[in-house]
Amino acid sequence: MGKLGVSVYPERSTYDKDAAYLDLATKYGFKRVFTSLLEINGDKDAVLAGFKKVVDHANELGMEVMIDINPALFEQLGITYDDLSFFHKLGAWGVRLDLGFTGAEEAKMTRNSYGIKIEVNMSQGTHYIDNIMAFSPNTDNLLGSHNFYPHRFSGLGQDFFNYATSLYTQYRLNTAAFINSQAATFGPWPTQDGLATLESHRSLPIATQVKHYVLMGTINDIIIGNAYASEDELKSAHEAFVADYPSLKVVPALDITALERTVLFENDHSYRGDRSEYLLRSTQTRVIYKDEAFPAHNTQPIERGDVLIDNVGYGQYKGETQIALQAMPNDGRVNVVGHIDPSELFLLTYLKPWSSFRLIQA
């Protein structure tokens, strides 16, 4: 099982606010903490002391702090890649290399005497990870994580994301990616339009972003990139992450009946394995409700994402639940009882035959 994470930026906030946020995140099962030390402005000792205070609080809560750094910081602080004692003293669980070395250095860093994790940038789409693997790293201490993208429209596309991720999953390395809070207001830089890895996630509800990563199955750890997510967001992200089954939000039709509401929202659904290109079928409801009446209503033409229940006109299929995968005509035997929430329509692509899922009211 992967982990959920949050991000804090001590240079851009206060200790009390960061500590309160970490306390709240812990309440909802968040384990990882991302923070960045890409540059140190002003009094170095004061900056590091304030930084360490936040890291210490996270450690007291049992959280794991990953510190994002770049090679320039190694020079500024007089650190060498073969001596990570500085990060050990700081209390870091791991060090994320925003920009890497040649492969040999990273491999050597994974064999540090403190057990500090070394996390490398998965978003490059190059064979950088192959170079590291060629130098026999300790893979228990080698992790990958994608970047986040503060500039709108600069985030990763799905196809490139899948390719870049596959370069890491082939080695069975732990993977991480970032999601975006709609309530958060800041990140490590003055300007940001949210901090998501995937551009398609930037404006989505946080639970929908989590569901997408869970359904993809290629990312272990999911981290909220910006600060501070609301308590509602932390709660909904946690619920989506630990859910027994993925759920899809449904906007019910205005004239949905009480029985149809029960069929949709009070049953676990299973995607029938002998799949159709037109319909995702959940057939068990026609067995459970075989003695109920399903009179015809709302029998308009069907669009992709419509949630359907066969009515009495369909004989033995009466009461079967379906989700339309494409537009099709309606001959009057199918009730359109709702529609997948527009923000989650894309998730239909990721549901797999024979998998179970739930429908929840939007």
Q: Are 215 and 240 in contact (CB under 8 A)?
A: no
Give me the domains of the chain, ranges plus CATH numbers.
4-243 (3.20.20.70), 248-361 (2.40.100.10)
State residue 100's pLDDT score.
Answer: 82
Is residue 84 classed as helix, strand or coil in its secondary structure? coil
Of 13, 85, 24, which Cα lies nearest the Cα of 229?
24
State residue 140's pLDDT score.
Answer: 98
Written as tens digits, the pLDDT of the chain (362 aa) is 899 999 999 989 999 999 999 999 999 999 999 999 877 878 888 889 999 999 999 999 999 999 999 878 888 888 888 899 999 999 999 999 988 889 999 999 999 999 999 999 999 999 999 999 999 999 999 999 999 999 999 999 999 999 999 999 999 999 999 999 999 999 999 899 999 999 999 999 999 999 999 999 999 999 999 999 999 999 999 999 999 999 999 999 999 999 999 999 999 999 999 999 999 999 999 999 999 999 999 999 999 999 999 999 999 999 999 999 999 999 999 999 999 999 999 999 999 999 999 999 99
Q: Considering the entire predicted model, what is its pTM? A: 0.96
Query: Please, which residues have CB within 8 angstroms of residue 140's CB and are 6 or more apart in sequence?
Result: none
* Cα of 310 vs its chain's centroid, Å: 34
